[in-house]
Amino acid sequence: MAGLPNLDHYWLPFTANRQFKSMPRLFKAAKGNYYTTIDDRILLDGTAGLWCVAAGHGREEIASAVAHQLRTLDYAPAFQNSHPLAFEAAERLAQFMPHGLDRIFFTGSGSESADTALKIALAYHRVTGNPLRNKLIGRERGYHGVNFGGLSVGGIAGNSKSFGNGLAGVDHIRHPLDISRNAFTRGVPKDGGVELANEFEQRITTLHDPATIAALIVEPMQGSAGVVLPPAGYLKRLREICDKYGILLIFDEVITGFGRLGTRFGSDYFGVVPDILTCAKGLTNGAVPMGAVAVKREIHDAFMSNAPANAIELPHGYTYTAHPIACAAAIAMNNIFAADKLVERAAGLGGHFEQAAHSLKGVPFVRDVRNIGLVAGIELEPTPGKPGARAFATYLKCYEMGVLVRYTGDVIAISPPLTIEKNEIDRIFSCIAEALTSIAAEGDKGLDFTRYLKDEQQWVVPPA
Ligand SMILES: Cc1ncc(COP(=O)(O)O)c(C=O)c1O
């Protein structure tokens, strides 16, 4: 058994650090759909890491491509120089994208992709002679990463309230979650989509001059804020309104990309093609940090034809844009998608997954189950005065029982690798049912976190 490291120096992201360090949950290995923890516990990965390990852990194809690349060309300057794999990775990704989105800008993460997309939208209007189109519209409960652009158009107050005002010239439209009307709907809610989308038009015409709006950014399915699905017709109507007023539509597909909904992208699932699409995560199976922004050819070409000869068309990019190691991983992952038919696999499992998720109806505290593709959100009744406490207890209890789930607020979010088996899907949801039943039976004690993972505290001291 490996030992416990010194926990003092590492400041964990989006984590209750003090709680974590009193009960560290450390993984030392992963293969297929399972993690091994530092104390040799085996955990079924119900979350594909952070929605990113689409092809399962420890893929040999990615490991050997990365190792080979590391020994061949570890780095090439990203500005004014490049390397062949960058072009190959872009070509492969362009072919994987919805039709027309075939110009690719690489980034290092989903957050960088969101900010890159917003900057391209603003700059596009400038190069095409519309500098007054400079407002950005996001959505309540939207998550577009943690950089200032994404944070500003994002709609999760808890993420932004610590950081001041964010970007100026930003507004938000309503989120589509309506539990009173749609609780326990299987898949997307049937009604209300067009009416809800029409509020976008109403908002931009009554509060703004639509000719000042540069872009609307939405996730096809809002993942991080608790699995919020768009009602039927909603995204199509947003597309129509954007077209009517010359507003660019950006889909943030950092979660919905790469097979998660049983289609390559959310755009394919909903039959709506944005002008700009952002992605990350499944692009490299989470093995190497990388994101990308796919842009319609006309948008890209506007930059190429309007900038003076030999001038930099877009003054934007990162040291690690199209990093050779990340490109090698992305190409290997692209091969895996084809060889393993991962998207088709996810589509084939959707019905079983939906059935298993909705078996939680009637389990203590479950007030809604939402599902699409291989994603489920299980919304719990909140505990008065302790938001998120029940979901956190459920996460700890499931961890004890050998299943990794994710929680966000009072929602348990499930998004397994696309390599998940049917019996593993059943295990995830029966584990959640058992955890909630046990928490309900224990009353207040069920929310006493110090009672969980007791044996996790008995660490072996590393050899000197
Ligand atoms: C829709 C969406 N956009 C952006 C991000 C940010 O990605 P990253 O954490 O790679 O910066 C996420 C992360 O979960 C996301 O879900």
CA angle (278, 283, 289) in 5-degree steps:
90
Whose CA is closest to 51, among 373, 369, 361, 391? 373
Asked if residue 254 has its Cβ within 6 Å of ligand 1, the reply is: yes
Question: Residue 372 pairs with which residues in a beta bridge?
Answer: 375
Asked if residue 428 has its Cβ within 6 Å of ligand 1, the reply is: no
- Which residues, other chains included, contact 177 with Cβ-Cβ below 8 Å and sequence gap of 6+? 141, 226, 228
pLDDT tens column, 223-246:
999 999 999 999 999 999 999 999
pTM for the model stands at 0.97
pLDDT tens column, 246-262:
999 999 999 999 999 99
Residue 110 Cα, ligand 1 centroid: separation in angstroms? 4
Residue 144 Cα, ligand 1 centroid: separation in angstroms? 6
pLDDT tens column, 113-136:
999 999 999 999 999 999 999 999
Give 454's pLDDT tier (boundaries 50, 70, 90).
Answer: confident
Model confidence at 464: pLDDT above 50: no
pLDDT tens column, 135-157:
999 999 999 999 999 999 999 99
Q: Beta-strand (E) ranges in 267-410?
A: 276-279, 291-295, 366-372, 375-380, 403-404, 406-408
How far apart, in whole angstroms, are the C-alpha atoms of residue 137 and residue 204?
A: 9
To the nearest whole percent, how much of the chain has pLDDT over 90? 96
Q: How far is CA 450 from the centre of its chain?
A: 30
Model confidence at 392: pLDDT above 50: yes
pLDDT tens column, 52-73:
999 999 999 999 999 999 999 9
Q: Write down the pLDDT at residue 2.
A: 52
How far apart, in whole angstroms, are the C-alpha atoms of residue 301 and residue 125?
A: 13
Q: Write down the pLDDT at residue 65.
A: 98
C-alpha distance across the termini of the chain, in Å: 15
Q: Write down the pLDDT at residue 138.
A: 98
Task: Tokens 């931009």: give the residue.
Answer: 204
Q: Write down the pLDDT at residue 60.
A: 98
How far apart, in whole angstroms, are the C-alpha atoms of residue 176 and residue 185?
A: 13
Whether 151 contacts 185, CB under 8 Å: no
Q: Write down the pLDDT at residue 462.
A: 41
Q: Write down the pLDDT at residue 456.
A: 52
Whether 215 contacts 249, CB under 8 Å: yes
Model confidence at 463: pLDDT above 90: no
Give DSSP secondary structure letters for 345-372. Answer: HHHHHHHHHHHHHHTTTTSTTEEEEEEE
Pairing of strands 170-173, 375-380: unpaired
Asked if residue 219 has its Cβ within 6 Å of ligand 1, the reply is: yes
H/E run at residue 429: helix 422-442
Whether 290 contacts 85, CB under 8 Å: no
| Pocket test residue of 50, 254, 279 for ligand 1, highest count of atoms within 8 A of CB | 254
